[in-house]
Amino acid sequence: MNPDDTSKASIREKTQTGSIQLLYSSSQATLKALDRDEIEQGGPSSALVYKATDYTSRLMPTSSQIDSDGASSYKSRDKRRSSVKIDRRIYAQQHTSSLSSISTDPDESSYTGSSSENEDEESQQRENPRERWLKQAERATNSRGFNDFCVQKIRQASFGRREIEIAEQEMPGLVALRTRAKDDQPLKGAKVLGCTHVTAHTAVLLETLVVLGAQVRWCACNIYSTQNEVAAALAEKGYSIYAWKGESEEDFWWCVDRCINQDSWTPNIVLDDGGDLTHRLHKEHPDLLSSVRGIVEESVTGVHRLYQYVKAGTLCVPAMNVSDSITKSKFDNYYLCKESIVDALKRTTDMMISGKAVLVCGYGEVGKGVSHALKGIGAFVCVTETDPVCALQACMDGYRVVKTEDVIRSVDVVITCTGNKSVITRSHMDSMKNGCVVCNMGHSNTEIDVRSLQTPDLTWERVRSQVDHVIWMDGKRIVLIAEGRLANLSCSTVPSIVVSVSASTQALALIELYNAPTGRYKNDVYLLPKKMDEYVATLHLPLFNARLTDLTDEQAKYLGVNKTGPFKPSNYRY
């Protein structure tokens, strides 16, 4: 693409509300197309080159939870297969809320928890990493004497490094960014404060940011999703990482604060998942926000909270909405959930899905992926929806659109995919048949009203890691997966290639916000332009040996597009 030609081109776009109009110009944030022959050969230059020295692409702004996900202390945490009765006298003292929600109050927290592997929970509680860290003599150090981290077991680092290397094999977008922008160092001087899932995939993103010049401090957005061996590998490499699987609520916020509060280190860019780090900065550390150039948010819940800040007029920095980018919503939300839901159900229940009656609540991108996956292996799927457009899509795709109360007594599996709260209530669960499996694939762990199940008249029985039987007084039981948290991150693995697409988008958003001239972005929420989405997609095509077709001059003129993109208008629905 000729930067001079691009500088003359602008696209006037509107947000959905029509209240904000900006010109998008990519004159300096140049995404250069290499020789197409090289792209087709899948060689070192098999994608677009991101010229990381120029950054002035203007992005389109969009229109616009106390969570106490503490350690659930009901006695089912003891690994016993026999039924464990709850003592009514100490019930109130033992139970702590384990919920997060999308609240109308932007000051409420919403961290959620999930788990990705089987571990000895009692051992983790007995050997708390935070307590060890607070004892100077017991504080762990890596092989080079570095100790600005807190992980479960630093000796697991070699295993974690292997996990990271495996993930890299199917994360071509991030690897390509390292190669193409390493010399330009687009994040030189950036101090990235991150709060995301701490997994092998995140480690590849984190190390990519470092290769591009950034310094990082990192904590987990989920109390159970951390891969301990990966956290250890990052600590061994010398990164400030505060995360371990099985954090309590107190541990969670301590880790967040440890990342924020470092005398010699002040963040100037933020990557968040769920909005808790953003919430903490706004509420507890507003003085630090003056040095922060922007926030990149990747989750639906976090984006909702950003819009709440905008509506209240309290958002203190520009924010980038990655959740609604094409490369996130159409790939991560659909394909990742489509592949991981079957894995999660098989690992937790060993059930035969074919022939089962399944209720999927919500038919957005996540609901579509879940429904298509289960229908494809023989399940009878029906859908609930509030949006008439999504409901019509479900009908056209061959699903019955029903009300929950009309089918709840007969279905074998219930899966929430809404990002909302109280989608499945106590009343619904009272009506479920014996053995019904209940799980969540949305975001917030209040889609299923787990709090309503924490009552003395119900018995909880832990049958395996992240699987509880909730037993009624008449003997009926339901199978609750991951205490209502994300089933795929709790109980299965996710495809690296899909995460690479999302992570590459996040990296570009960080680069754009960090290098944008002062004043370009107001304290609002912005979307990535179509050109960025196309660039991220192009980075991943060589893995599939995909060969793009070139438009002729005549064809490009007929369509009214540039031969090198963007190929679709901003309002195009893929």
DSSP notation for 36-101: HHHHHHT-TT-S-EE-TT---PPPEEPP----------SGGGS--SS-BPPPTTTHHHH-------
Q: Are residues 322 and 412 in the same domain?
A: no
Retrieve residue 486's tokens.
Answer: 């994300």
Picking from 302, 329, 356, the residue at the C-terminal end of a domain is 329
Q: Phi and psi of 9, rounded to 5°? A: -95, 135
CB proximity list for 325: less than 8 A, separation 6 or greater: 505, 527, 528, 532, 533
Please state, in angstroms and rounded to a whole number, the distance separating the CA atoms of residues 64 and 303. 9
- Alpha-carbon gap, residue 206 to 167, rounded angstroms: 13
Question: Are the C-beta atoms of 298 and 321 separated by less than 8 Å?
Answer: no
At 242, which helix (H) or strand (E)? strand 240-242
Does residue 514 lie within any of the structural domains?
A: no
Residues 295 and 437 in one domain: no
Distance, in Å, from the CA atom of 308 to the CA atom of 280, rounded to the nearest integer, reads 15
pLDDT at res. 126 = 55
Do 20 and 133 lie in one domain? The reply is: no
Q: Which residues of the chain have pLDDT under 70?
A: 1-126
Q: Both tokens of residue 37?
A: 């022959």
Whether residues 295 and 366 fall in one domain: no
Q: What is the dihedral of CA 124, 113, 505, 12, to 10 degrees?
A: -160
402 and 534 co-located in one domain: no
324 shares its domain with 343: no
From 293, 285, 251, select the one nearest 268 (Cα to Cα): 293
Look at residue 287 in the predicted model and tell me its pLDDT: 92
State the Cα–Cα distance between residues 305 and 520, nearest whole angstrom. Answer: 22
Q: Residue 300: its pLDDT value, please?
A: 83
| CATH number of the domain to which 325 belongs | 3.40.50.1480
Q: Does the residue 134 lie in any domain?
A: yes
C-alpha 406: how far from chain center: 32
Q: What pLDDT does 555 receive?
A: 94
Tokens read off for 164: 């990271």
Q: Which two tokens stand for residue 237?
A: 């490499």
429-443 pLDDT per residue, tens: 999 999 999 999 987
Please list the residues that pair with 270 across neighbouring strands.
193, 295
pTM for the whole thing? 0.75
Contact 217, 519 (CB under 8 A): no
Q: 323 with 428, same domain?
A: no
Report whether 247 contacts 235 (CB < 8 A).
no
Question: Three-class SS of residue 155?
Answer: helix
Residue 286, CA atoms < 13 Å, CB-side half-sphere? 6
The domain tally of the chain equals 3
**204 in Cβ contact with 168 (< 8 Å):** yes
Instruction: Verify that 132 and 247 share a domain, yes or no.
Output: yes
Distance of CA 269 to the CA centre of its chain: 18
Query: Kind of pairing, strands 467-471 and 459-464?
Result: antiparallel
Last residue of a domain, one of 470, 491, 512: 491
In the prediction, which pLDDT does 307 show?
95
**Nearest C-alpha neighbor of 233 from the set 165, 163, 167, 160:** 160
Q: Which amino acid is at 140?
A: A
**Which amino acid type is present at position 456?**
P
Residue 80 in any domain: the answer is no
User: Helix (H, G, I), strand (E, B), or coil: what is residue 342?
Assistant: helix
The predicted pLDDT at position 127 comes to 74
Same-domain status, 191 and 169: yes
Q: Given this model, what pLDDT does residue 332 score?
A: 86
The pLDDT value recorded for residue 397 is 97
| Position 304 in a domain | yes
Cα separation, 74 vs 53, in Å, equals 55
Looking at the domain assignment, is residue 519 inside a domain? Answer: no
* pLDDT of 229: 96
How far lies 340's CA from each of 9, 173, 356, 413, 495, in Å? 42, 21, 18, 16, 8
Structure tokens belonging to residue 266 = 């002040």
CATH number of the structural domain spanning residue 368: 3.40.50.720
**Are both 356 and 303 inside the same structural domain?**
no
Residues 320 and 360 in one domain: no
Query: Does residue 564 sit within a domain?
Result: no
Give the span between the Cα atoms of 62 and 344, in whole angstroms.
Answer: 34
**Looking at the structure, do residues 306 and 168 belong to the same domain, yes or no?**
yes
Residue 508 in domain: no
Q: 156 is in which domain, residue-wise? A: 112-329
As given in the structure block, the two tokens for residue 197 are 């899932």
State pLDDT tens for residues 53-64. Answer: 343 343 344 443
pLDDT of 392 reads 98
| 479 located within any domain | yes
Residue where a domain terminates, one of 276, 306, 329: 329
Going by C-alpha positions, the residue among 171, 165, 271, 175 that lies closest to residue 500 is 171
